[in-house]
């Protein structure tokens, strides 16, 4: 492992979760920062260190300039990290297909 990752004392499970959240289109960098106390630049560094070079390039190309990865660029300010299409379990009206 790298000293950058050791500085934050992330275990393997936390690193996997950070990578998973960063890879998801609708999870903002602010949500990752809120949960793991790391900046967008640190998320990018983790992705660079943990992914294969080709996978990292694909990810960077996909998230660069994407509105959904930055809370400030989203059209509606929700004030929390929740997809606008997400409903509570008891009121779930979306049928399983």
pLDDT digits (tens, 9 = 90+) for 9-42: 889 999 999 999 999 888 888 889 999 999 999 9
Query: What total number of domains does the chain contain?
Result: 1
Report how far Cα 69 is from the mean position of its chain's Cα atoms.
7
Higher confidence at residue 48 or residue 83? 48
Q: Are 51 and 16 in contact (CB under 8 A)?
A: no
Is 18 domain-assigned? yes
Q: Does an H or E element contain 87, and which?
A: none
State which residues form the domain around 37. 3-70
Mean pLDDT calculated for residue range 42-49: 93
Is 83 domain-assigned? no
Is 34 domain-assigned? yes
Span between the terminal Cα atoms of the chain, in Å: 42
Q: Are 55 and 23 in contact (CB under 8 A)?
A: no
Summarize pLDDT for 49-73 with one digit per residue, the tens. 999 999 999 999 888 876 666 566 5
Is 63 domain-assigned? yes
Residue 94 confidence (pLDDT) above 60: no
Is 82 domain-assigned? no
């Amino acid at each position: 492992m790298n000293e950058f990752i050791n500085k934050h004392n992330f275990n393997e499970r936390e690193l996997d979760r950070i990578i998973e959240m960063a890879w998801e289109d609708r999870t903002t960098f602010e949500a990752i920062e809120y949960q793991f106390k790391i900046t967008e630049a640190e998320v990018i560094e983790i992705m660079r260190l943990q992914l294969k070079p080709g996978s990292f390039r694909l990810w960077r190309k996909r998230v660069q300039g994407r509105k959904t990865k930055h809370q400030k660029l989203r059209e509606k300010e929700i004030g929390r990290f929740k997809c606008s299409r997400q409903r509570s379990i008891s009121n779930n009206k979306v049928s399983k297909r």
